[in-house]
Amino acid sequence: GAVVSQHPSRVICKSGTSVKIECRSLDFQATTMFWYRQFPKQSLMLMATSNEGSKATYEQGVEKDKFLINHASLTLSTLTVTSAHPEDSSFYICSARDQGTGTEAFFGQGTRLTVV
């Protein structure tokens, strides 16, 4: 079945550095992927919608220059957290739609980012 693979699952970085998170669709093409952020004991909050071959659509309040999204191919979207700070520490999750139903059915395993 269709799987979304997210890498890395955990990353610790120093304040001021950048971190790249990859989201790959395995065995299917994802023209649209979604990036979420989840704080402890809170819900998933949509950060941006990643569209293959075009610019990402960011939700209100999400800094475009801070969270760079690239969707250069039909199977890969990347989220780069630039100049990371401790407040960026969170759980980041990507997802893709089932093209047949249009439902967000496939989620990555998530990335735990800790900025020290």
Distance CA 24, CA 19 (A): 17
Token couple for 36:
């979420």
Which of 46, 62, 68, 74: binder of another protein (CB under 8 A)? 46
Among 18, 42, 73, 83, binds another protein (CB under 8 A): 42
Binding mask 85-104 toward another protein (x if CB under 8 A, else -) reads --------x-x-----x-xx
Binding interface with another protein (CB under 8 A): 34, 41-46, 49, 57, 59, 93, 95, 101, 103-105, 107-110
